[in-house]
Amino acid sequence: MDTMPKWADIVLIPLINLLIAFFLSGLVIWAIGKDPFEAIRTMVAGAFGSTDGVGYTLYYTTNFIFTGLAVAVASRAALFNIGGEGQVMLGGLGLTLLLLTVDFPHWAIALPVAVITSAAFGAGWAFVPAYLAAKRGSHIVVTTIMFNFIAFSLLGYMLVSSWIKKPGGVPESLDFAETVHLPNFHDILAPLGIEFSKHAPANISFFIAVACCVLFFVVMWHTQLGTAIRQFGKSEGAAIYAGVSPVKITIIAMMISGGLAGLMAVNATMGEAERLILGFSEGAGFIGIAVALMGRNHPFGIFLAAVLFGFLYQGGSELSLWMGIPRELVIVIQALVILLTGALDNMVRMPVERLFLHFRKGAN
Amino acid sequence: MSLMRTLLGAAATVTLGATATLADPAIIFDLGGKFDKSFNESAYTGAERWKEETGGNYLEIELQSDAQREQALRAFAGRGANPVVMAGFSFASALTEVAPDYPDTKFVIIDMVVDAPNVTSVVFNEHEGSYLVGMAAAMESETGTVGFIGGMDIPLISRFACGYAQGAKAANADATVVQNMTGSTPAAWNDPVKGGELTKAQISQGADVVFAAAGGTGIGVLQTAADEGILSIGVDSNQNFMHPGQVLTSMTKRVDNAVYNAFSAGEDVAPGFNVMGLNNDGVGYAVDEFNASVLSADTIAALEEAKAAIIAGDIAVHDFMSDSTCPM
């Protein structure tokens, strides 16, 4: 089974994939008459060259960690949760209802309640497809994607016709109170004497995301529940034989997944916008699939993949800002990375494996 | 990883050093994209005209997401772009937040009012222009029923609808005006399929002229109207050329002029209100070779008369946004 050392599996192969993706992107940029080297410089400088850029990169990263972990939990149980988008939206809705109805004296009190609420709403939204899949055998991909549309319409209704709407033509909610604004990196780092951009949206939720990575690792590999989820994912028959209830595991795994997706709202809605905006999820639920795929459903891999996609998002908007590269092309670059790292993984894996086998034979 | 960080960091410092500040103007297009054949494209045309005439350079971005609004504003203002023009009412919240942080930068927001000392708010008297095309619609209609298809259901679009209905009734007191909005989310600006469906629905109610005030959705309205053999009225940009002989006229909203003027004034663009109406050609109706066959001389004469009367104040077109009601 282990034809390659672990480092090759986790680092080498994604790196080769990435290089190919960047090479192809470079060709595309060159084809429209721009300088690919300047493009990569713009992206790197824009994403990591200033605290402002880092702040945006980490903000996107935080989103992708949550949705990436969400997809990974379900994936470990052999369930494909494509409904992250809807679960994120519901998390945002729950959070907004909470913050607009309850007066919190301080963000530190609001934060734990907000975390629980948004996770609960996300988990609740995932519960229905999970229940249908576990009890009625309906296909989880179909139901979760349908629930995305329902969530979008629900959010649209709430932001256009309900009491949470802010007066005016824009579909967004009333602003949250000053007291529940989460500290951003500037507020966190200033007491330590470190200068960080005041306006970058990266905030304390980043650390919640990192904590979720650690928690994911602990639960998945060091608890009975994690073992049951992985068993169920590898072989349903064997898991049942070992006493695992498929109904229970399906529902629990999907609800953890939905809860993690819902947590993204803490970053995007409470941390950044400080109000609920229609469409605030911005496809992060779907990007989570690519992140989980690239991170091989492992929290450390997901963290790295999320940083990469954060870089692509922030660097991509810098490309449109400063090089006049149209937004459609930025999507092409992102798509190439997803295609190469996610879908065409085996294209690189197989030759590399063969190479390792060849060397091993030579060594023997 | 740490090695990579160092390398990336080094590369970053090099590039940052190379970027100088610039005083070029900048424009931010809304989610519809600069080639929406309507509002954003009109803004783009104005920017391009300025570029052609002055040989200057401008910065631009087409937004991909709501979160980028503030980012784009700060990015352009931070690098010294001046003035920063934004096309669309959705920028209000972001601009309110950003404007005080860059007191030396002039911001120009189109279609919305933001009250700050360094912000120019450009608003259009859409009801006046809509009144004229409403008259044209009623005069050229044979069935006496004219249609209106709006984009997202917001007060701004009701302002179009209300002006249109007033114009139609003024030209023909027995005219019936059917109205539909495409939706209540921003997706309604970019849904040509639904625009086509609504057009068919209005045709079945007897409409033989439809006015689309719906951004990209209007493309579907004009297309369906042409396919079904009825007349349509374009909006924002002059859309007569899209279906020659089948588009009655276009309610032009000279967003291009607003952008052009802002770019030309540069850093000296005057803050405050800037109302563009019939009197300063901010709104109007389009006459060109593409609609010469459908817009009769009699109609044009009547429209010119009404236009003069509105400018003189003899005809008062009710503005929906003044009291959120329409007398029609």
A215-249 confidence digits (pLDDT tens):
999 999 999 999 999 999 999 999 999 999 999 99
Contact A48 B154 (CB under 8 A): no
CA distance A355 to chain B (A): 25
Residue A356 carries which DSSP code? Answer: H
Output the pLDDT for position B221: 96
Q: Which residues contact B200 (CB under 8 A, 6 or more apart)?
A: B224, B228
Contact B64 A327 (CB under 8 A): yes
Query: Looking at the complex, does the CB of residue A161 fall below 8 Å from at least one CB of chain B?
Result: yes
Checking if the pLDDT of A296 tops 80, the result is yes
Residues in A touching B92 (Cβ below 8 Å): 168, 170
CA distance B292 to chain A (A): 37
Q: What is the mean pLDDT of residues A295-322?
A: 90
Q: Per residue of chain B (328 residues), what is the pLDDT tens digit?
A: 444 444 444 444 434 433 444 578 999 998 778 887 778 888 999 999 999 999 999 999 988 777 788 889 988 998 888 899 998 888 988 899 899 999 999 999 998 889 999 999 999 999 999 999 999 999 999 999 999 999 988 888 999 999 999 999 999 999 999 999 998 777 788 889 999 999 999 999 999 999 999 988 999 999 999 999 999 999 988 899 999 999 999 999 999 999 999 999 888 888 888 899 998 889 999 999 999 999 999 999 999 999 999 999 999 999 988 888 888 7
List the single residue in B with minimal CA-CA distance to A277: B66
Six token digits for residue B61: 């971005």
Output the pLDDT for position A169: 65
Six token digits for residue A93: 């809705």
Checking if the pLDDT of A85 tops 90, the result is yes
Q: Quick one: pLDDT band at residue A348, thresholds 50, 70, 90? A: confident
- Among A327, A328, A330, A334, pick the best mutation site for testing chain B contact (most B Cβ within 10 A): A327
Residues in A touching B89 (Cβ below 8 Å): 169-170
More confident residue, A98 or B70: A98
**Phi, then psi, of B35 in degrees rounded to 5:** -110, 45
User: CA A41, CA A297: separation in Å to the nearest integer?
Assistant: 30
Query: Looking at the complex, does the CB of residue B4 fall below 8 Å from at least one CB of chain A?
Result: no
Residue A259 carries which DSSP code? Answer: H
Contact A282 B12 (CB under 8 A): no
User: CA B170, CA B177: separation in Å to the nearest integer?
Assistant: 12
CA distance A223 to chain B (A): 30
CA distance B287 to chain A (A): 32
Six token digits for residue A339: 């295609």
Model pLDDT for residues A68-78, shown as the tens digit of each residue:
999 999 999 99
Query: Looking at the complex, does the CB of residue A11 fall below 8 Å from at least one CB of chain B?
Result: no
Across the beta sheet with B145-152, the strand order is: B176-183, B145-152, B209-213, B231-236, B247-253, B283-285
Six token digits for residue B48: 């391009």
Residues in A touching B78 (Cβ below 8 Å): 52
User: CA B328, CA B325: separation in Å to the nearest integer?
Assistant: 9
Q: Report the 10 Å Cβ neighbour count for B78.
A: 17
Q: What is the mean pLDDT of residues A200-213?
A: 95
* A71-75, A97-101, A149-153, range with the lowest pLDDT: A149-153
- For helices A51-76 and A205-222, the axis angle rounded to 10 degrees is 30
Residues in B touching A171 (Cβ below 8 Å): 184-186
Nearest neighbour of B61 by CB, restricted to A45, A56, A321: A321
Task: Quote the percentage of chain A above a pLDDT of 90.
Answer: 63
Amino acid identity of B87? A
The answer to whether the CB of B205 falls within 8 A of the CB of B212 is no
Contact A282 B16 (CB under 8 A): no
Contact A170 B76 (CB under 8 A): no
- Among B24, B27, B65, pick the best mutation site for testing chain A contact (most A Cβ within 10 A): B65
Residues in B touching A199 (Cβ below 8 Å): 70, 74, 101
Six token digits for residue B297: 């001389």
Q: Which residue has the tokens 């891999």?
A: A301
CA distance B115 to chain A (A): 15
Q: Is A7 helix (H, G, I), strand (E, B) or coil?
A: helix
Checking if the pLDDT of A120 tops 60, the result is yes
Six token digits for residue B2: 């740490």
Contact A326 B155 (CB under 8 A): no
Q: Which residues contact A47 (CB under 8 A, 6 or more apart)?
A: A53, A54, A56, A57, A310, A311, A314, A315, A318
Nearest neighbour of B11 by CB, restricted to A44, A52, A318: A44
Query: Looking at the complex, does the CB of residue A321 fall below 8 Å from at least one CB of chain B?
Result: yes
Query: Looking at the complex, does the CB of residue B22 fall below 8 Å from at least one CB of chain A?
Result: no
Residues in A touching B19 (Cβ below 8 Å): 322
Contact A56 B12 (CB under 8 A): no
List the single residue in A with minimal CA-CA distance to B98: A199
Residues in A touching B14 (Cβ below 8 Å): 41
Distance of CA A253 to the CA centre of its chain: 17
Conformation bin of residue B147: beta by default, left when phi > 0, alpha when psi is -120 to 50: beta
User: CA A298, CA A141: separation in Å to the nearest integer?
Assistant: 22
Query: Looking at the complex, does the CB of residue B172 fall below 8 Å from at least one CB of chain A?
Result: no
Q: Which residue has the tokens 């600006």?
A: B189
Average pLDDT, chain A: 90
Nearest neighbour of B154 by CB, restricted to A169, A268, A279: A169
Going through chain B in order, the beta strands assigned E by DSSP cover: 26-29, 59-62, 84-87, 107-110, 119-124, 145-152, 176-183, 209-213, 231-236, 247-253, 272-276, 283-285
Task: Quote the percentage of chain A above a pLDDT of 70.
Answer: 98
User: CA B12, CA B20: separation in Å to the nearest integer?
Assistant: 15
Output the pLDDT for position A360: 77
The pTM of this model reads: 0.81
Residues in A touching B62 (Cβ below 8 Å): 320, 326-327
Query: Looking at the complex, does the CB of residue A287 fall below 8 Å from at least one CB of chain B?
Result: no
Residue A80 carries which DSSP code? Answer: -
Query: Looking at the complex, does the CB of residue B210 fall below 8 Å from at least one CB of chain A?
Result: no
| Listed residue (A99, A118, A259) closest to A181, CA to CA | A99
User: CA A182, CA A283: separation in Å to the nearest integer?
Assistant: 23
CA distance A298 to chain B (A): 17
Query: Looking at the complex, does the CB of residue A171 fall below 8 Å from at least one CB of chain B?
Result: yes
**Phi, then psi, of B86 in degrees rounded to 5:** -130, 135
Checking if the pLDDT of A295 tops 90, the result is no
Query: Looking at the complex, does the CB of residue B190 fall below 8 Å from at least one CB of chain A?
Result: no
Output the pLDDT for position A364: 57
User: CA A208, CA A260: separation in Å to the nearest integer?
Assistant: 11
**What domains can be seen in chain B, in order of their start residue?**
19-124+254-282 (3.40.50.2300), 126-252+296-323 (3.40.50.2300)
Nearest neighbour of B62 by CB, restricted to A160, A199, A327: A327
Residues in B touching A322 (Cβ below 8 Å): 19, 59
Output the pLDDT for position A268: 93
ipTM: 0.72
CA–CA distances in Å: residue A171 to residues A87, A160, A178, A210, B150: 19, 6, 21, 32, 17
CA distance A107 to chain B (A): 21
Six token digits for residue B57: 């350079």
DSSP string for residues in B243-310: STTTEEEEEEE-HHHHHHHHHHHGGGPPPEEEEE-TTTTSEEE--STTTTTTS-HHHHHHHHHHHHHH
| Listed residue (A53, A42, A73) closest to A257, CA to CA | A73
Nearest neighbour of A45 by CB, restricted to B16, B66, B89: B16
List the single residue in B with minimal CA-CA distance to A315: B12
Burial of A300 (0-12, 13-18, 19+ CB in 10 A): middle
CA distance A74 to chain B (A): 28
Contact A156 B185 (CB under 8 A): yes
User: CA A286, CA A90: separation in Å to the nearest integer?
Assistant: 15
